[in-house]
Amino acid sequence: MDLGRLKMILNNKEIRPLSPECFTFELYEPNIWDALDLSFSESCNQDNIIKAITRYCIGYCDARRLLVRPMSDSYAFMFEKNGDKFWFHVHKVIIEYCLQLENQVL
């Protein structure tokens, strides 16, 4: 992932790579819409996911490297909201979509 370009898109928010060991089963959140205070349909919108990353994300890991729930087509993003940490997968196509939009603006 091109963190420099993604950082520009996310209003210069620093997103650091995290060790795969940080992404534990206990912190995995399958119900992202509730965790992010979204409806189910809102959680399916790419722009809402990017807004959540901008607001709450504290780190990421390529999901292929995970010990828990590895996936080849996703990144795992760690969030902190209201003092709670949780993570979930974000498909790589969503991040690629953001990078493509940024290219169109330039």
Residues 16-31 have pLDDT tens digits of: 889 999 999 999 998 8
How far is 8 from 14, CA to CA, in rounded Å?
Answer: 9
Domain count, the chain: 1
Cβ contact 86:29 at 8 Å:
yes
Q: Phi, psi at residue 99, to the nearest 5°? A: -65, -35
The CB density around residue 65, as the number of other CB atoms within 10 Å, is 13
52: containing domain: 3-10+19-105
Which of 38-52, 57-71, 81-95 shows the lowest per-residue confidence on average (mean pLDDT)?
38-52
pLDDT at 2: 53
Sequence letter at residue 47: D
Average pLDDT, integer, range 34-55: 85
User: For residue 55, is pLDDT > 80?
Assistant: yes
Residue (of 85, 83, 101) closest to 46 by Cα position: 101
User: For residue 43, is pLDDT > 70?
Assistant: yes
Which H, E and C letters describe 74-104, residue by residue? EEEEEEEECCEEEEEEEEHHHHHHHHHHHHH
pTM for the full predicted model: 0.81
pLDDT at 20: 97
How far is 25 from 69, CA to CA, in rounded Å?
Answer: 8
